[in-house]
Amino acid sequence: KGSPAGPGEPCGTWGSPCGPGSPVDRGALGRHHWVPATQRLFGGQIVGQALVAAARSVGSELQAHSLHCYFVRAGDPKVPVLYEVERTRTGRSFSVRSVKAIQHGQPILICQASFQLPQQSPVRHQCSMPAAPPPEALLTQEQLVRTYLQNPDLAERYRKQLTKIEAKDVPIDIKPVNPPGMLCSEAQEPKLLFWVRARGYIGECDAKVHCCVAAYISDYAFLGTALLPHRQHRVQFMVSLDHSMWFHAPFRADHWMLYECESPWAGEWPGGWRGARHPRAALTGARCRRLPGARARAAVAQGRRPGGHLRAGGRHQGGAGARAEQALARKAAAAAPAPRP
């Protein structure tokens, strides 16, 4: 419960085919959901479980290479999620799977996952790992929340939000590097660093299991990066429209990884997030990108002190997701140039 795959669950054995030789597998994998403070379905769990479903339909010799997801409907945390896997291509070196996460008979997420046979390459390079203090020298998010709650100047609306966060049993250990203060209203560069790992022991097992857990983690504490330069605004809601990940090298999701997040752009169109995850060995283990939708308004009420929002997660699937997509579509149509005769 709370993680997409347990330490003893083998990959490559899941699913009940529709019939002999059928290219489609179906199985109700998501029976238990970790529900964040927003009381909405946590999108990272759906991404991670979709990758679990895809991974269990390929051979153990293949490893996860990449995934690309689209969130198409709001998720319901009260009902299980059915995962439908189409075996799009099965080859010797590469295989591709298409996954639909289904609730109430309709897809809430569509995922394309690629798997490949590990091969050594003579061409190797990567971006440098950012300088950061070791995780042992930093406070956890729970410790930071308790520190914020002890501040007598903390606004009541922030106190209520943080109290909800404190009461949640988050299945992820996270230690921010230079966390932004709750009462700080100054614009900051849209970059964040934090150490992260799965809570609990997973152990040495199929590397695909650690990729699935990393996919789960990748949705946590990400969206706030784009808000750092705009702390004078109040965000009404934020959702993700798509989510992509690439897996470059083996890593342990239950060991500390440095998560490097940045938002290179935000504006009328959906903004963008990208991140790199570095294991302590200074290798880039995984990268991810996300296209979000957001709606914000300026904080102009007299006497209101603008500040950052610390939330118990990044994007969650909720009813606002569909409304955000509709609003973005209307803006795109209005901004599109007229066709040439």
Q: How far apart are CA 197 and CA 261, in angstroms?
A: 15
Q: Write the CATH number for 175.
A: 2.40.160.210
Q: Strand, coil or helix: what is 153?
A: coil
What's phi and psi for 35, nearest 5 deg? -105, 120
The beta strands (E) that lie in 200-326 are given as 233-247, 257-265, 272-279, 286-298, 316-317
Which one-letter amino acid corresponds to residue 101? A
Which one-letter amino acid corresponds to residue 235? V
126 found inside a domain: no
- Given this model, what pLDDT does residue 310 score? 31
341 found inside a domain: no
- Given this model, what pLDDT does residue 46 score? 93
Two tokens, residue 186: 């100054």
Distances (CA, A) of 331 to 108, 327, 340: 23, 6, 20
- Given this model, what pLDDT does residue 129 score? 85
Supply the DSSP symbol for 190: S
Q: How far apart are CA 262 and CA 225, in angstroms?
A: 6
Q: How far apart are CA 337 and CA 222, in angstroms?
A: 33
62 found inside a domain: yes
CB atoms within 10 A of CB 83: 27
4 found inside a domain: no
65 found inside a domain: yes
309 found inside a domain: yes
Mean pLDDT by runs of 10 across the 341 residues of the chain is: 36 34 62 62 90 94 95 89 95 96 96 94 83 93 87 81 69 87 68 90 91 89 68 64 89 92 70 60 61 44 32 38 45 47 39
Which one-letter amino acid corresponds to residue 331? K
8 found inside a domain: no
53 found inside a domain: yes
Number of domains in the chain: 1
C-alpha R_g of the chain: 20
Q: At how many degrees (to 10) do helices 156-167 and 141-149 cross? A: 140
Give residue 248's domain range: 16-118+133-335
